[in-house]
Amino acid sequence: MKRVIYLILIIAGFWLGIELITRLIIEILWFQEVGYLSSFLKRLLCQLILFIGVTGISASFLFVNLHFAHKYKWHSIPESLPKKYPHLKPIKDTRLTPQSISFRLPWLLFFVVICYLIAGVMLFYYSQLAFEVWTPKFNLANVNPPVLLFEGLNWFWNLIPSLPQNLLKLGAFSAIIFILFLKAELWITTIAGILSLLFGLIFAGNWTNVFKYLNSTPFKEFDPQFSKDVGFYVFTLPISEWLFLWLAGLIIYGVVTVSITYLLSGNSLSEGKFPGFSRPQLRHLYGLWGAVMAILVWRHILNRYELLYSSRGVIYGAGYTDIHVQQYVEIGLGIIAGLSAFWLFFKSISGASKPKLNPYYSRSKLKKISYHTAKTWYKLPFYLWFIILYLFVLIMGQFSSLFIQMLVVQPNELARERPYIARSINYTRAGFDLDKINAKIFDPEGVLTAEDIRNNALTIENIRLWDTQPLLQTNRQLQQIRLYYKFLSAEIDRYLMKTASTDQNDPFVPDTEPKTNDPNLINTTTEKQQVIIAARELDYEEVPDTAKTWVNEHLVYTHGYGFTLSPVNLVAEGGLPYYFVRDIGTSTDEGALQTSSEFIQYSIPITKPRIYFGQLTNTYVMTPTSVQEFDFPSGEENVYNTYDGAGGIQVGSWWRRGLFAIYLKDWQMLFTTDFLPDTKLLFRRQIDERIRTIAPFLQYDQNPYLVVADIGDTPPSGIKNTLYWIVDAYTISDRYPYSDPGENQYNYIRNSVKVVIDAYNGDVKFYIADPSDPIIKTWSKVFPAMFRSLDEMPINLRTHIRYPEDFFSAQSEQLLIYHMTDPQVFYNREDQWQIPREIYGNKTQSVAPYYLIMRLPEETQEEFILLHPYTPRSRPNLIGWLAGRSDGEQYGKLLLYLFPKQRLIYGSNQIEALINQDPAISQQISLWNREGSSVLQGNLLVIPIEQSLLYVEPLYLVAEENSVPTLARVIVFYENQIVMAPRLEEALTAIFEPEQSSTPAIIRPVEGL
């Protein structure tokens, strides 16, 4: 049987070795392909050093202690020699006699079970922690750092009530305790080895914290309490917490293993009693308990700094009670723990102790001694005084904090907490980069004229009538072409478009055919146009089941093709979206995308728009092979192609085939005859996975967007690509002192990096967008070859960077409270804001930030901005709006425009109410809803123009049969008028030039709500 077990272990070890070597070689090949091999090797070396070092130290500590425990343990229970053999003298060698009180079976079982429970909980806890470290969550909506920070010892207590709700955890925990009872000596040794490996894995997974600590950059900002640079909290404190977590677990398990070994020695369970600890055993335990108390000193030092993240009281961070009570409790507990550690180490080294009880005393003598000890309680062992004093200070500290908070702080809260409220306001604003907001007064005058509308033509022409949701629905009906094509998302961007320089029906379509193909010789002008772009990707999951073969999955269906580009403000016949770019195939080129005019061809550099790297490219593919790839459909036929880009890893040789077959668990790679000598494997094509694998220490935005740009270079393959993905990346921390995270799991965030991914070749480049951020400075020290300056980004790509929505949303939500900088106003919440509500479709939702092209007040030209309005918490009227700038030198700046509080400025809710209460408009909507269709109310946009506000809401009509949304009407609200018209231009004419309005429009005066 043992031979079979050994054979299984050898085979398993051999297979594991093959897996690890294979993965290492594949990772090296992949990182070499993407150009970040040096970064990977540096990371790998750090992880190996951490794993080997921490595992080695942990194993050495535990096994050395186990060795001494086995050396000093009882091999048999010592007998009372004078009682059995009166002629023999008592043994005077105290190393062989008990030097502590003995206890019988009930107490022995109690202590053993406690030790088993601690061992089981520790194994369970550190296993779960290792799993969390190696499987991080990256979703920005609920951002966690790549390595979760120490949660505190409360986990042990929180685990107990959660066990009954999770049968798997309960079963695993029970199994650990059961096997310990079966053969304790074997299993405590086994658990020691497992824990050593887990400690190594946890620290290897914490390579990010280690690198940040070793390469830390000062923030040159200091916390207001301890006057330490913020870099200490962001870079040093996290690694200190992880070190404590490791050392505390290591030492506590050392105490547990040694205690179990001593308690179970000499067949104590079967004998039904434990004789007590000998002097060597006591010295050993004194040393370990001294280490426990020393690590407890460290814990109290860390607790003092962590008061800056306290949630006690009305603010985030250390308040009055934390500063005046709790920090002194931590200091006192640390001193007591330190003195206790010193005394225990002294006892361990010197061994100075006198036996309190002689095991050879008679029972009557022992009873007298016990009675005398009870009467002289003040003569307790010295170490018990430390424990009693520590517990007394701990309990009194908790009660003192509670009483001070209730009796001193709360009755005079504002006066007591005022300086700490100011701290929280200032540091929260700094953590979320709100302290750089430029606030201005915006007083709507309501005096817009037709001349003002003409002077702001670019703003008017870029008012978004098409939301991304109805456009995607239309794309999926009209532009997917085949079932396996899919438009996953649509994003807002802006492009410089060549347009006719004279007045025409459509400025993007020349009235006459140009006589030359040279755009420079055509009478045109260039202007900024806001558009919605959506990539047409191939979703293999939508391929019919009968066609899902290995060849089709990996050799044929390899890429998506093309995109749609729609102006946000134009409408085609029948109320459908107007497309600048659509379909596949033209009369002259079956692989070209159709454009609406020559002007679009001049403005948008469209080549062969193949998407090998995207959001839906989840499969790995091999190309070129003897099987041609599906390129795009042409009528009833398909057109085929062979990849000739720069991406991929050569797999033509047999040894590489074998490596990838093991790595991918795809054995058909070994037997296919379709490979060629230059066949390459393209994997990790999903852009999110691709960039996270290269730089897992960054957090990434949830909305990658496609950009069409000619960056001027030609790759070695000679095939020019113009499709690129841009992803915003963030540096975050939850250790910024006094910064309130709100609903987030971070309290510091910067949009420090822009990532560009070539959709055809797979190249990935990281550009630093915020060089002032100390965290990205630190990562630049760690990986100097990874990051480039934003100035190095090609200009045709740089014109498409935008203020990211996720970052803006986080800032916008914090600003709801933290625009109040006066502590008294903040405390009373006198001016708290909220995000306005709107009706979208038939449901009420919060107004999301939206992009606009507009001219900001006091500016001379239009910009691409991200805008978010606010309302007071208790009222629905507008109180202000926040603008994030995206163009040129203004990129990344925030402007806050505040409305006068003494004036009523209609908010989104009020405008929606006016629209739905208007009898003519509501009657028309009800009529449409009864005729086999439904009305979808689009996003209500608040458009600042000059010193006035214009409200615009599109209405879409969705037929029940085909679900293709069409733009039915546009509702415009200005001052005291609501207008509903078929087109935006008609609605504006009806308001500002009613005498020239010749189209039917509903015009209603508004007197109020």
Question: Do 402 and 323 have their domain in common?
Answer: yes
Residue 715 belongs to a domain: no
Question: Do 189 and 336 have their domain in common?
Answer: no
d(CA 982, CA 984) in angstroms, rounded, equals: 7
Dihedral sign (CA 214, 220, 223, 226): positive
- The backbone torsions φ and ψ at residue 306, rounded to the nearest 5 degrees and listed phi first, read -75, -5
Q: Is the pLDDT of residue 362 over 50?
A: no
Q: Is the pLDDT of residue 507 over 60?
A: no
For 358, other C-beta atoms within 10 Å of its C-beta total 13
Residue 284 belongs to a domain: yes
Residue 889 belongs to a domain: no
Question: Do 189 and 292 have their domain in common?
Answer: no
Q: Is the pLDDT of residue 925 over 80?
A: yes
* Per-residue model confidence (pLDDT) at position 801: 95
Q: Tokens 């454009």 appear where?
A: 595
Q: Tell me the β-bridge partners of 870.
A: 880
The DSSP result for 734-783, as a single string, is S--TT---TTSS-SEEEEEEEEEEETTT--EEEEES-TT-HHHHHHHHH-
More confident of the two residues 975 and 823: 823
d(CA 871, CA 33) in angstroms, rounded, equals: 51
Residue 131 belongs to a domain: yes
* Per-residue model confidence (pLDDT) at position 5: 75
Question: Do 187 and 286 have their domain in common?
Answer: no
* Per-residue model confidence (pLDDT) at position 601: 85
Task: Classify residue 410 as exposed, middle or buried by CB count within 10 Å of its CB (0-12, 13-18, 19+).
Answer: middle
Question: What does the mean pLDDT of the chain come to?
Answer: 85
Q: Is the pLDDT of residue 533 over 50?
A: yes
The structure tokens listed for 172 are 């695993």
Position 266 confidence tier, pLDDT thresholds 50, 70, 90: confident
At 318, the amino acid letter reads: A
Q: What is the mean pLDDT of residues 611-635?
A: 92
End-to-end CA distance of the chain: 87
More confident of the two residues 74 and 679: 679
Dihedral sign (CA 468, 470, 472, 474): negative
Separation of CA 483 from chain center:
33
* Per-residue model confidence (pLDDT) at position 377: 42
Position 140 confidence tier, pLDDT thresholds 50, 70, 90: very low
Look at strands 787-789 and 764-768 and give their pairing.
parallel
Please count the structural domains in the chain.
3
Residue 841's SS3 state is strand
Question: Do 261 and 334 have their domain in common?
Answer: no
Question: Do 197 and 287 have their domain in common?
Answer: no
Across 375-384, 692-701, 829-838, which has the greatest mean pLDDT? Answer: 692-701
Position 143 confidence tier, pLDDT thresholds 50, 70, 90: very low
Question: Do 55 and 172 have their domain in common?
Answer: yes
Contacts of 132 (CB under 8 A, 6+ apart): 148
* Per-residue model confidence (pLDDT) at position 360: 45
Question: Do 254 and 316 have their domain in common?
Answer: no
Position 324 confidence tier, pLDDT thresholds 50, 70, 90: very high
Instruction: Tell me the per-residue pLDDT of 660-687, one tens digit each, with 9 for 90 and over.
Output: 999 999 999 988 889 998 999 999 999 9
Question: Do 289 and 187 have their domain in common?
Answer: no
The structure tokens listed for 18 are 């093959």
Question: Do 154 and 267 have their domain in common?
Answer: yes
Closest CA relative to residue 354, chosen from 371, 375, 379, 387: 379
Q: What is the mean pLDDT of residues 788-798?
A: 94
Residue 637 belongs to a domain: no
Instruction: Tell me the per-residue pLDDT of 548-591, one tens digit each, with 9 for 90 and over.
Output: 999 999 999 999 999 999 999 999 988 899 999 999 887 678 88
Position 177 confidence tier, pLDDT thresholds 50, 70, 90: low
More confident of the two residues 537 and 176: 537
Range name among 257-271, 416-430, 719-733 with the lowest pLDDT average: 257-271
Give pTM, 2 decimals.
0.89
Range name among 111-125, 663-677, 825-839 with the lowest pLDDT average: 111-125
Range name among 245-249, 283-287, 975-979 with the lowest pLDDT average: 975-979
**Rounded to whole angstroms, what are the CA distances from 90 to 354, 360, 681?**
16, 8, 81
Residue 101 belongs to a domain: yes
* Per-residue model confidence (pLDDT) at position 797: 94
Range name among 81-90, 233-242, 919-928, 982-991 with the lowest pLDDT average: 81-90
Q: What is the mean pLDDT of residues 832-849?
A: 87
* Per-residue model confidence (pLDDT) at position 366: 45
Q: Is the pLDDT of residue 910 over 90?
A: no
Question: Do 45 and 174 have their domain in common?
Answer: yes
- Domain of residue 389, residue span: 278-355+382-411
Across 3-17, 25-39, 593-607, 969-983, which has the greatest mean pLDDT? Answer: 25-39
Position 372 confidence tier, pLDDT thresholds 50, 70, 90: very low
Closest CA relative to residue 30, chosen from 660, 714, 717: 660
The DSSP result for 23-45, as a single string, is HHHHHHHHHHHHT-HHHHHHHHH
d(CA 807, CA 698) in angstroms, rounded, equals: 14
Q: Is the pLDDT of residue 196 over 60?
A: yes
More confident of the two residues 636 and 200: 200
Residue 493 belongs to a domain: no
* Per-residue model confidence (pLDDT) at position 901: 82
Range name among 74-88, 339-353, 723-737 with the lowest pLDDT average: 74-88
Position 920 confidence tier, pLDDT thresholds 50, 70, 90: confident
Q: Is the pLDDT of residue 378 over 50?
A: no
Q: Tokens 């085939």 appear where?
A: 657
d(CA 434, CA 821) in angstroms, rounded, equals: 11
The structure tokens listed for 918 are 């208007």
d(CA 554, CA 639) in angstroms, rounded, equals: 17
* Per-residue model confidence (pLDDT) at position 600: 87
Q: Is the pLDDT of residue 191 over 50?
A: yes
d(CA 736, CA 235) in angstroms, rounded, equals: 10
Q: What percent of the chain has pLDDT over 90?
A: 50
For 139, other C-beta atoms within 10 Å of its C-beta total 10
At 466, the amino acid letter reads: W
More confident of the two residues 732 and 960: 732
Instruction: Tell me the per-residue pLDDT of 82-107, one tens digit each, with 9 for 90 and over.
Output: 444 444 444 445 556 777 777 778 88
Across 107-121, 713-727, 850-864, which has the greatest mean pLDDT? Answer: 850-864
Instruction: Tell me the per-residue pLDDT of 714-768, one tens digit each, with 9 for 90 and over.
Output: 665 556 788 999 999 999 999 999 999 988 989 999 999 999 999 999 999 999 9
Q: Is the pLDDT of residue 139 over 60?
A: no
At 135, the amino acid letter reads: T
d(CA 699, CA 732) in angstroms, rounded, equals: 7
Question: Do 254 and 349 have their domain in common?
Answer: no
For 531, which DSSP code?
E
d(CA 557, CA 685) in angstroms, rounded, equals: 13
Range name among 59-68, 210-219, 353-362, 520-529 with the lowest pLDDT average: 353-362
Residue 58 belongs to a domain: yes
